Structure 1
Amino acid sequence: AAKQTEPVTVISLRKLSLGVPEPQQQKEPRTFTVEDAVETIGFGRFHIALFLIMGSTGVFWLAGSLLIIGLASVVIPTIGWRWLIRIASIPGIILIMAFKFIPESARFNVSTGNTQAALATLQRIARMNRSVLPEGRLVEPILEKRGRFADLLDAKYLRTTLQIWVIWLGISFAYYGVILASAELLERDLVCGSKPESQVAAVTAGDSEESQSPCHCHLFAPSDYRTMIISTVGEIALNPLNILGINFLGRRLSLAITMGCTALFFLLLNICTSSAGLIGFLFMLRALVAANFNTIYIYTAEVYPTTMRALGMGTSGSLCRIGAMVAPFISQVLMSASFLGALCLFSSVCVICAISAFTLPIETKGRALQQIK
């Protein structure tokens, strides 16, 4: 007989979830700003090339000035003005060709909505520096408020703005003053016990009516041209010391020291000295006034936030032009009437600027650039 099969019961266990299944969270796309890209790329070959190109503007300007000064007394009688202008234009042509290397600012392109151009610029810089950009998409926060002139006079920046304006005006006044006064100084010939060579080359016409006129010319002697050339070199010769002072002493103290030294050397011009001493005084003055300009440019760009930076630089440049317009009246007109009075005025303005620089309320050394007010 067949054996009866016993029934088998199979139980299947299944985990039941009473809750609603959670949707998978989507990851937000990564983004980065121009500042993030700059930090990631770091310092490299692009920045070195940019430094050399931008720094060469001053070198070529100086070279052009020295070229014109040198050729004016030697070559013009031989080749004439036309060839001189052609030769002097060579540095400008070289600069125009070099500026083609410099791309448009990535921040400017982003602010105008041209993100692709900004990204292309950053990628080019990253390739030159052998680096990579951050992962994600390039974005830039939209600024709801743009800078206004009234922001410069806001309670937070009022004192800083007024002191910066005074400094810009005084620095420009001293800078163009010492340049324009150089001819007056050489004409007076402050070298002790020597007869000025310019008087030997003076244009005279015997007993004619022109010889009795106070409006007469004194031609520069070769030694005068040498003095001008050497003193002009001072504008770039002490730049390394200026950079060290800015980075180690800070912007305010460095500017206060150079402005105070400028005031001192203006007064030293009244001392009867040797030819080498006069050259040394003019050399130091040109170096100091150039250092003042370097420092105030850096400080003004750093002290204001992004929304006000262009306004701060623009208004300061306007005060700079006022100082440049006043300088000829002092270095040419007043100096002819009272030599010591003109020097004291230049020195007094520099002292005021030194005090204003030392008492500036904000030190920007080691301070990150402010993005918003």
Structure 2
Amino acid sequence: MVYQSTQDRDVSASQSSYKLDDAINHIDFGRFHIKFLCLVGLTYMATACDVGMISVIGPSLKCYMGFDSLQIGLLSSAYFLPRIIGQAKFGEFADRFGRRPIIMLLNVWHFFYVFLIIFCPNSFWLMLLRLVSGASVSRRVMVGLFSEFLKPQHRKLLILQQLFWIIGSGTRFLLGAAVIPWLGWRSYVACTAILYFLVMIISWSFLPESARFYNVTGQVHMAEKVLQKVARSNNSSLPPGRLEKLKEQKRRGRLMELFRPAYRWVTIRVWLLFFCGIFTYYGIYVGSTDLVQVSGVSFMNERNESMNDLEASCSLSFNIDSFMLLSIASFGELVGVPLNIWLVERVGRPYTLSLNSFISALSFLMMAFFTGKVMLTFWLVGALAFTAGIFTILHMYALEVYPTSLRGIGVGSSMAVGMVGAAISPLATQVLMHKNRESALFILTATSAICCLIPLTHMKETRGENMEDFTRLIEEEETEFINQQFQK
């Protein structure tokens, strides 16, 4: 009798099925996720050292390779321009061909071209390699993959990407101060290449493909294998039965799918928020030094007027005051991390976005009226911390609001629009700041105010919701949309 009931129970389990979200929730958070989070952190630290490379090695390039200020500025812009295309295209490829192969390709790409910078003989090759390496966006695809293994209650951990970025930003100055005076600027580039090499090797041995991607492409058995691997790593198990097979989604990673009726206004809001949010973040990030200079607060040592420009550039090393400014610019963002982790679950994503934008706008406005060292530093930290919060929460929201078959292109196209803002932000900070300080700050204030208002226009809340697959969600919402049109 006992044998019969057990057999019946096994048959019943074999005939039952579970959804992928049920499996993710059942596996819970464990060792696999901790390892993945550490890999994301290492990737962000490597990228921060790379993005800020020119700011660290710039004085050495002026001194030893004869670069002028215009060439240094072009090198900084060169990194952002190809990202406008790279963000969207590689996001599309991740939806069409899978997350893992695109991450592997981008990791090899970035390591190879950063490694070649070590041997650059002149400005032409340095500019070319910065352009090519800037197209790699592996960390965005990797965070997207990480999010697809998290249950709703744990997706607030995506805000920790901001923490890793801050650590990397601060590390680049410490690393530069430690190796450049002794071994030259190429040693800093070599250290950055080593970080990318570690990311490449660890990713190759550890990263699985997305179970969600396998599921929407009809590869349900591969999705089950991935889930079983994650469950074993977490000392957990899968729900009884077999994974539910979904209808295969053919139209994956297509830009025009973002403008179908169910997602049109979501995309318009998200794109506008990414443009304004990234514009303000990079605007204050690259313009903080110019801001304190035009505010009458000098953090730099006075130089001998008899020096020419080349001698001055060679003599200006990291002194205590300038290093303090760079540290504030890098580590000031830490203020917003714990607050945002708490807020996104308490008040939701849109309201947290709006609050971060309001504090950013207030900080920019106050800096227009305060020029003293203490108050200026206080509001500068507030601007850096909460503009970074806008950026981070937006990235998390875009990962949640778009379905599996559009997640790569949805986030990638949003980042591409944001990179347009990043490319033009120096015009409103570094250039305009020296002509009219108040006008530059008012532009940043107005842009942050736009970010504050958009989330209040009935943006969809994603707190506590499972990630959707494209087919089920789009059919439900389009059917509802069509029915509403007929009723009218």
Aligned residue in 2 for 1:84 = 188
Q: Deviations over 1:239-260 (max 9, x none)?
A: 1211111110111111001011
Q: CA RMSD in A?
A: 3.1
Aligned residue in 1 for 2:302 = 200
Residues 154 and 89 (structure 1), Cα distance of their counterparts in 2 relative to 1, 3 Å cut: closer
Aligned residue in 1 for 2:285 = 179
Aligned residue in 2 for 1:142 = 247
Amino acid at match of 2:26: T
Deviates more, 1:68-77 or 1:133-142: 68-77
Is there any run of 5+ residues in structure 2 with no aligned partner, and where? 1-10, 49-165, 475-488
The higher relative CO (CA closer than 8 Å, separation ≥ 6) is in 2
Q: Distance in 2 between matches of 1:42 and 1:122?
A: 11
Name the larger-Rg structure.
1
Q: CA deviation at 1:173?
A: 0.3
Residues 361 and 186 (structure 1), Cα distance of their counterparts in 2 relative to 1, 3 Å cut: closer
Aligned residue in 2 for 1:300 = 398
Q: Distance in 2 between matches of 1:227 and 1:178?
A: 13
Q: CA deviation at 1:225?
A: 1.9
Residues 159 and 68 (structure 1), Cα distance of their counterparts in 2 relative to 1, 3 Å cut: closer
Aligned residue in 2 for 1:283 = 381
Q: Deviations over 1:294-348 (max 9, x none)?
A: 2111222222333433332232122111111110111122222111101101110
Q: Distance in 2 between matches of 1:315 and 1:123?
A: 32
Amino acid at match of 2:263: Y
Q: Deviations over 1:125-162 (max 9, x none)?
A: 11122222233334421135635544433344333322
Residues 229 and 150 (structure 1), Cα distance of their counterparts in 2 relative to 1, 3 Å cut: same
Identity of aligned residues (%): 31
Amino acid at match of 1:260: F
Aligned residue in 1 for 2:259 = 153
Q: Deviations over 1:220-252 (max 9, x none)?
A: 753122111122113345312111111101111
Is 1:332 paired with 2:392? Answer: no
Aligned residue in 1 for 2:367 = 269
Q: 1:252 aligns with which of 347, 350, 353?
A: 350
Aligned residue in 1 for 2:77 = none
Deviates more, 1:73-82 or 1:39-48: 73-82
Amino acid at match of 2:302: V
Residues 110 and 157 (structure 1), Cα distance of their counterparts in 2 relative to 1, 3 Å cut: closer
**TM-score, with structure 1 as normaliser:** 0.79
Is 1:164 paired with 2:270? Answer: yes
Residues 73 and 222 (structure 1), Cα distance of their counterparts in 2 relative to 1, 3 Å cut: farther
Q: Distance in 2 between matches of 1:54 and 1:67?
A: 16
Q: Distance in 2 between matches of 1:140 and 1:242?
A: 36
Aligned residue in 1 for 2:154 = none
Amino acid at match of 1:142: K
Count of residues in correspondence between the two structures: 337
Is there any run of 5+ residues in structure 1 with no aligned partner, and where? 1-25
Residues 144 and 67 (structure 1), Cα distance of their counterparts in 2 relative to 1, 3 Å cut: closer
**TM-score, with structure 2 as normaliser:** 0.61
Aligned residue in 1 for 2:417 = 319
- Aligned 1:39-54 pairs, distance under 5 A: 39-54=25-40
Aligned residue in 1 for 2:172 = 68
Indicate the SS of the match to 1:238. Answer: helix
8 Å CA contact 2:359, 2:382 repeated in 1: no
